[in-house]
Amino acid sequence: MITSGEGKYKVFLEKKEHGDDLIFILGGGEKSHVGGAVICQPKQKPYVLTYLNHHDHIVLTPIAKAACKKYNKTVIAIGGIHIDKATKEEIQTIVNNCKELIKCI
């Protein structure tokens, strides 16, 4: 598992092998949850699943795309990050911390 950030801005990414494919689980903030999922296959557009009023796909999509490209495998990135009444600045901090995770995939 890799992490980025501190306190309620800390995010984590866990990688699991599933046959020939990979599963990445993203969580953090004050409460991890399943807010979306993104499936990527080599040389294809990502398939994005979202819940109403959730925006977790914004950070899940680049994770799934980067892992798919690096490993040349089918990848699903699933999860979510929640902070109660997050400000725009707090959301940007979470997004930036997720970008740091991508560097370590």
The CA distances from residue 79 to 12, 43, 49, 57, 97, in Å, are 10, 23, 11, 9, 15
Between the CA of residue 103 and those of 4, 54, 70, 92, 98, what are the distances in Å?
11, 24, 11, 17, 9
Assigned CATH for 2-102: 3.30.230.100
Using pLDDT thresholds of 50, 70 and 90, give the confidence band for residue 29.
very high
pLDDT, residue 4, reads 97
User: What pLDDT, on a 0 to 100 scale, did the predictor assign at position 67?
Assistant: 98
Residue 23, strand partner residues: 16, 76
- The pLDDT of residue 78 is 98
Q: What is the pLDDT of residues 32-90, one digit of tens each?
A: 999 999 999 999 999 999 988 889 999 999 999 999 999 999 999 999 999 999 999 99
- Tokens 């903030």 belong to 29
pLDDT at residue 101, as a whole number: 97
pLDDT of 26 higher than 90: yes
Determine the pLDDT at residue 31: 94
Query: What are the φ/ψ torsions at residue 70 (nearest 5 degrees)?
Result: -65, -45
